């Protein structure tokens, strides 16, 4: 696993999360060799696992009745 500090120098660092969405810890890692929006991240403090593209708020959808 790679830590965020080692990813900061890569071109895809803009998609790397800075903190865990659950506990706000900065101790996060990924197994992706080149992290992108579809990479999964794990917090080493609380164990939360997430994907940045799946946690983005979605636009509300409206159903016609």
Q: Report how far residue 48's alpha carbon sits from residue 28's, in angstroms, rounded to the nearest whole number.
A: 9
Sorted by where each begins, the domain ranges of the chain are 2-55
The pTM (predicted TM-score) of the whole model is 0.61
Question: What's the rounded Cα separation, in Å, for the pair 41 and 56?
Answer: 14
Residue 29 CB-density burial (10 A; 0-12 exposed, 13-18 middle, 19+ buried): middle
7-64 pLDDT, tens digit per residue, is 444 444 456 889 999 999 999 999 999 888 889 999 999 999 998 777 666 666 677 7
Measured distance CA(65)–CA(45) in Å, rounded: 46
């Amino acid at each position: 696993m790679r830590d965020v500090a080692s990813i900061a120098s890569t071109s895809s660092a803009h998609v790397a999360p800075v903190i865990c969405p659950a506990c706000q810890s900065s101790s996060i890692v990924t197994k992706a060799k080149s992290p992108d929006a579809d990479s999964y991240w794990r917090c080493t403090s609380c164990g939360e696992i997430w994907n940045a593209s799946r946690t983005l708020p979605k636009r509300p959808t409206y159903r016609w009745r």
